[in-house]
Amino acid sequence: MRLEGHFIKSLWFKNNWVDELWFAILDDEWN
């Protein structure tokens, strides 16, 4: 699994701005 993106203060959640992390996994890593 690899980190594809880190979005700083991109989401409004419970009255706070929070970071969002996007991860990806290759097809051959999935199995």
For the stretch 1-31, pLDDT in tens is 999 999 999 999 999 999 999 999 999 988 7
Query: 18, 22, 19: which is closest to 4 by C-alpha?
Result: 22
Given this model, what pLDDT does residue 31 score? 78
What is the phi/psi pair of residue 28, to 5°?
-75, -20
Instruction: Output the DSSP codes for the chain.
Output: -EEEEEEEEEEEETTEEEEEEEEE--HHHH-
pTM listed for this prediction: 0.64
